[in-house]
């Protein structure tokens, strides 16, 4: 009998989410009972049970324990040869669920309050062996060794099970086990002859696994040790298992999920992203909601409002940055490709795009690393901007020649606040403690990251697109003003700079980037490249019903610029006159100006050439990406040969 002082987590029902995939039973006939099939899986020679026995003790870790039991069941069943796989770490599953429930700054409830959280933690991180992360309350850190091992056991698919008896029976027939949460009562502490009796005393909500059924109820695999349960079937005693009567299930069940473990499928990584952001682009294949964190673990940092996001699916920290910098410093001959995206995609889409790009960068001999820093602001603003766009359309009509002006007017207020938040995040993250307006007690988190990478001794190849240039500009201004040794280290480390449609004015760009450009060009020509859309491509760019580019919307609506002769340098060269500025004697001397043509223009039929494109098409331009990658590979090869 379990200790009555055992604590259970304060679980709550998972809220409804229309994105949940719901389990749909098939028409396959169901057996009247599955308990004998479970009993037959007991090893006749060793009497080993077909599941693991876990004891959560006084810790409220039932959600992690239950999911660990379910994963073990799948792994044991998959072996099928009498071998016993190593049991997985319930502590890792629990801690990753805790991380899911933390707010961006680390706040949030203590413990795990939702089955969805423990499933999401498993989806994003996988799970390592129990020997690598034992079930100890003091073990809370995800080390590099644990993270790497966890990639071997990941989540493939998961479905929510509706609280219909037939759905539960079918799910057990299809998947062998179900992850469940329910309200308990005093009968759970007083199991009699392997059956949970009714009891008037209410208990707490609890998570466990269903492993079978018969004509009286479901078989529960609990995490309260081997002395709990003891249900008997065909002369076999199932320790840790008890019968949960159907009436009790009907009154107290909260949630249920079925899962399937994943298999290695690197070729599917490119389809793990979703298109979100303010582009309203419905083209392309159907994609999953988000990419698992483990696909980019050790290759990214995630900031929101200028500081590391320590909770949720894509958490990071200064400690993680230091760990990565240490790994890079151990192999300084491998160049680092540092991407600072600012294409105004939400974090899910931006993360998925970097996951898709990672294999090509690694094939080119680079260590890919990405600094996400403004994507959460986009996620929180997109719905508002979408509403304002619709308001403008309703006001003047979708075909009105005044629609662009109406959209600029409608979005100016919210857009100004949005763009101001982007600028403040760049300043908070990119400045050192000595900079004007910065935190006097610490360097910004992006400044710390860039300083750390520069100190590794590995060559840095920088890539910034869209608003990403704003963060890099803040960092460079901080270095230029007070950098000293840090400025020398950074300028000495940067081997190339690639800018794609940057959202910055020429004067601001020159003030921040000129010293770095001079330093890079001392290595040789052709190492600083500015990519902008051709005039024809730019005229096809749109943001929903706004028939101009996102850079136009930002400059003329969000920044409120009234002079249409003012431009960002990321606009077409025909509008900005950058061809003269990049010539000898110009303010951008030493910068190679490249133009992006309309994607696959020559291959499109005439009617398709009238289609519109988004800024996302600029950032992900296939031909441009291939040229950038080829150029980087050539620079890496040349530097390796010329290195003394």
Asked if residue 419 is part of any domain, the answer here is no
Reported confidence tier of residue 45, pLDDT bands at 50, 70, 90: low
Mean pLDDT score, 331-342 = 96
Contact 616, 275 (CB under 8 A): yes
Q: Residue 197 belongs to a domain with what CATH number?
A: 3.90.70.10
The pLDDT tens digits for 547-599 are 999 999 999 999 999 999 999 999 999 999 999 999 999 999 999 999 999 88
As a whole number of angstroms, the distance between CA 42 and CA 332 comes to: 53
204: left (phi over 0), alpha (psi -120 to 50) or beta: beta
Mean pLDDT score, 328-357 = 91
Reported confidence tier of residue 4, pLDDT bands at 50, 70, 90: very low
As a whole number of angstroms, the distance between CA 212 and CA 220 comes to: 8
SS3 labels along 382-419: HHHHHHHHHHHHHHHCCCCCCHHHHHHHHHHHHHHHHH
Asked if residue 396 is part of any domain, the answer here is no
**pLDDT > 90: percent of the chain:** 68
| 237/302 same-domain check | no
The pLDDT tens digits for 179-192 are 999 999 999 999 99
The pLDDT tens digits for 533-557 are 999 999 999 998 999 999 999 999 9
As a whole number of angstroms, the distance between CA 592 and CA 155 comes to: 45
As a whole number of angstroms, the distance between CA 528 and CA 264 comes to: 38
Asked if residue 402 is part of any domain, the answer here is no
pLDDT at residue 110, as a whole number: 62
| 46/113 same-domain check | yes
Using alpha carbons, select from 276, 74, 253 the residue that is nearest to residue 158. Answer: 74
CA distances from 253 to 73, 95, 173, 228, 243 (A): 22, 25, 19, 20, 14
Token pair for residue 609? 């050439």
The pLDDT tens digits for 481-526 are 887 899 999 999 999 999 999 999 999 999 999 999 999 999 999 9
Mean pLDDT score, 443-447 = 96
pLDDT reading at 263 higher than 90: no
Comparing 464 with 51, the larger pLDDT belongs to 464
pLDDT at residue 278, as a whole number: 40
Reported confidence tier of residue 283, pLDDT bands at 50, 70, 90: very low
| 185/65 same-domain check | yes
Q: Which string of b and e fits 246-269 if b means at least 16 CB within 10 Å?
A: bebbeebbbbbbbbebbeeeeeeb
Sheet containing 155-160: which strands, arranged edge to edge?
A: 155-160, 253-261, 178-185, 202-213, 217-221, 241-245
Reported confidence tier of residue 77, pLDDT bands at 50, 70, 90: confident
Using alpha carbons, select from 285, 462, 280, 309 the residue that is nearest to residue 372. Answer: 309
Non-local (6+) Cβ contacts of 261 within 8 A are 71, 74, 75, 78, 153, 154, 155, 156
| 306/230 same-domain check | no
Non-local (6+) Cβ contacts of 566 within 8 A are 505, 555
| 71/203 same-domain check | yes
pLDDT reading at 266 higher than 80: no
pLDDT reading at 38 higher than 90: no
Comparing 112 with 456, the larger pLDDT belongs to 456
Asked if residue 84 is part of any domain, the answer here is yes
Comparing 61 with 80, the larger pLDDT belongs to 61
| 326/203 same-domain check | no
Please, what is the average pLDDT of the chain?
A: 88
pLDDT reading at 284 higher than 90: no
As a whole number of angstroms, the distance between CA 239 and CA 222 comes to: 10
| 612/525 same-domain check | yes
CA distances from 161 to 120, 168, 179, 228, 569 (A): 16, 7, 9, 26, 53
Asked if residue 199 is part of any domain, the answer here is yes
Q: Domain span at residue 580? A: 297-346+353-377+424-642
| 235/364 same-domain check | no
Q: Which of 79-83, 455-459, 598-602 has the highest mean pLDDT?
A: 455-459
Using alpha carbons, select from 39, 75, 339 the residue that is nearest to residue 211. Answer: 39
pLDDT at residue 289, as a whole number: 58
Mean pLDDT score, 355-362 = 93
| 510/625 same-domain check | yes
Reported confidence tier of residue 282, pLDDT bands at 50, 70, 90: very low
Comparing 466 with 8, the larger pLDDT belongs to 466
Contact 69, 209 (CB under 8 A): yes
Q: Domain ends where: 238, 260, 282?
A: 260
| 357/224 same-domain check | no
| 193/340 same-domain check | no
Non-local (6+) Cβ contacts of 103 within 8 A are 311, 312
CA distances from 456 to 328, 386, 489, 537, 552 (A): 6, 43, 10, 40, 39
Per mean pLDDT, which range of 135-139, 299-303, 434-438, 469-473 is the poorest? 434-438
The pLDDT tens digits for 285-318 are 333 458 899 999 999 999 999 999 998 889 999 9
Can you say how many angstroms the Cα of residue 582 is from the centroid of all Cα atoms in its chain?
A: 38
The pLDDT tens digits for 372-416 are 998 888 777 888 888 999 999 999 999 999 999 999 999 999 999
pLDDT at residue 563, as a whole number: 94
Asked if residue 338 is part of any domain, the answer here is yes
pLDDT at residue 610, as a whole number: 58
Dihedral (CA of 437, 484, 305, 96) sign: negative
pLDDT at residue 27, as a whole number: 85
Asked if residue 416 is part of any domain, the answer here is no
Q: Domain ends where: 233, 260, 287?
A: 260
| 156/110 same-domain check | yes
pLDDT at residue 39, as a whole number: 82
pLDDT reading at 207 higher than 80: yes
Reported confidence tier of residue 274, pLDDT bands at 50, 70, 90: very low
Q: In the chain, how many domains are there?
A: 2
Token pair for residue 210? 């269903």
Q: Which H or E element spans position 307? A: strand 307-308
Q: Residue 488 belongs to a domain with what CATH number?
A: 3.40.50
Asked if residue 267 is part of any domain, the answer here is no
Using alpha carbons, select from 390, 341, 412 the residue that is nearest to residue 618. Answer: 341
CA distances from 286 to 265, 273, 345, 615 (A): 17, 9, 17, 20
Q: Domain ends where: 208, 237, 260?
A: 260
Using only C-alpha atoms, the chain has a radius of gyration, in whole angstroms, of 28
pLDDT at residue 407, as a whole number: 96
pLDDT at residue 106, as a whole number: 53
pLDDT reading at 264 higher than 50: no
CA distances from 530 to 346, 392, 596 (A): 24, 34, 10
């Amino acid at each position: 009998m379990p200790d009555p002082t055992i604590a259970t987590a304060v679980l709550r029902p998972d809220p409804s989410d229309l994105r949940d995939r719901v389990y749909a039973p098939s028409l396959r006939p169901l057996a009247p009972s599955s308990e004998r099939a479970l009993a037959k899986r007991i090893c006749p020679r060793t009497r080993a049970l077909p599941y693991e026995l876990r004891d959560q003790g006084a810790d409220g870790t039932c959600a992690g324990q239950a999911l660990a039991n379910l994963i073990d069941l799948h792994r044991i069943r998959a072996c099928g040869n009498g071998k016993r796989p190593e049991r997985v770490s319930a502590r890792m599953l629990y801690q990753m669920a805790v991380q899911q429930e933390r707010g961006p700054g680390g706040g949030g409830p203590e413990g795990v309050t939702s089955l969805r959280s423990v499933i999401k933690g498993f989806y994003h991180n996988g799970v390592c062996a129990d020997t690598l992360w034992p079930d100890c309350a003091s073990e809370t850190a995800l080390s590099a060794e644990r993270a790497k091992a966890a990639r071997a056991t990941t989540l493939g698919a998961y479905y929510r099970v509706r609280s219909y008896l037939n759905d539960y029976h079918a799910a057990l027939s299809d998947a062998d086990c179900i992850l469940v949460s329910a309200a308990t009562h005093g009968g759970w502490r007083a199991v009699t002859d392997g059956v949970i009796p009714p009891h008037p005393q209410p208990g707490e909500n609890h998570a466990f696994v269903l492993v079978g059924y018969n004509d009286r109820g479901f078989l529960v695999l609990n995490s309260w040790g081997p002395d709990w349960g003891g249900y008997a079937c065909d002369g076999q005693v199932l320790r840790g298992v008890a019968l949960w009567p159907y009436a009790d299930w009907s009154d107290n069940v909260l949630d249920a999920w079925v899962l399937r473990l994943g298999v290695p499928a690197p070729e599917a990584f490119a389809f793990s992203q979703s298109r979100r952001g303010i582009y309203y682009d419905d083209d392309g294949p159907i994609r999953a909601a988000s990419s698992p964190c483990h696909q980019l673990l050790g290759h990214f940092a995630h900031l929101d409002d200028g500081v590391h996001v320590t909770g949720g699916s894509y958490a990071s920290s200064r400690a993680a940055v230091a760990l990565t910098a240490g790994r890079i410093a151990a192999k300084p001959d491998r160049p680092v490709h540092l991407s600072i995206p600012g294409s105004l995609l939400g974090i899910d889409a931006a993360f998925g795009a970097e996951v898709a790009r990672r294999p090509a960068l690694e094939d080119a001999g680079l260590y890919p690393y990405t600094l996400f820093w403004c994507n959460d602001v986009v996620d929180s603003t997109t719905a508002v901007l979408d509403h304002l766009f619709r308001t403008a359309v309703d006001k003047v009509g979708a075909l009105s020649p005044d629609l662009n002006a109406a959209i600029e007017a409608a979005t100016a207020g919210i857009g100004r606040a949005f763009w101001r938040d982007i600028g403040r995040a760049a300043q908070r993250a990119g400045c050192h403690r000595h900079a004007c307006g910065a935190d006097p007690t610490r360097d910004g988190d992006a400044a710390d990251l860039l300083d750390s990478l520069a100190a590794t001794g590995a060559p840095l190849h920088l890539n910034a697109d869209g608003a990403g240039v704003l963060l890099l500009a803040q960092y460079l201004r901080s270095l230029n003003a007070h950098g000293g040794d840090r400025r020398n280290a950074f300028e000495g480390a940067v081997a190339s700079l690639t800018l794609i449609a940057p959202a910055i004015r020429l004067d601001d760009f020159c003030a921040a980037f000129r010293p770095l450009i001079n330093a890079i060009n001392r290595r040789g020509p052709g190492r600083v490249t500015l990519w902008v859309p051709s005039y024809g491509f730019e005229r096809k760019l749109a943001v929903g019903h706004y028939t101009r580019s996102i850079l136009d919307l930002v400059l003329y609506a969000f920044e409120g610029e009234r002079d249409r002769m003012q431009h960002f340098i990321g606009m077409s060269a025909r509008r900005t006159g950058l061809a003269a500025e990049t010539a000898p004697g110009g303010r951008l001397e030493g910068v190679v100006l490249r133009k992006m043509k309309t994607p696959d223009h020559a291959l499109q039929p005439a009617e398709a050439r009238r289609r519109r494109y988004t800024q996302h098409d600029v950032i992900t331009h296939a031909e441009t990406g291939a040229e950038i990658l080829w150029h980087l590979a050539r620079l890496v090869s040349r530097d390796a040969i010329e290195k003394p």
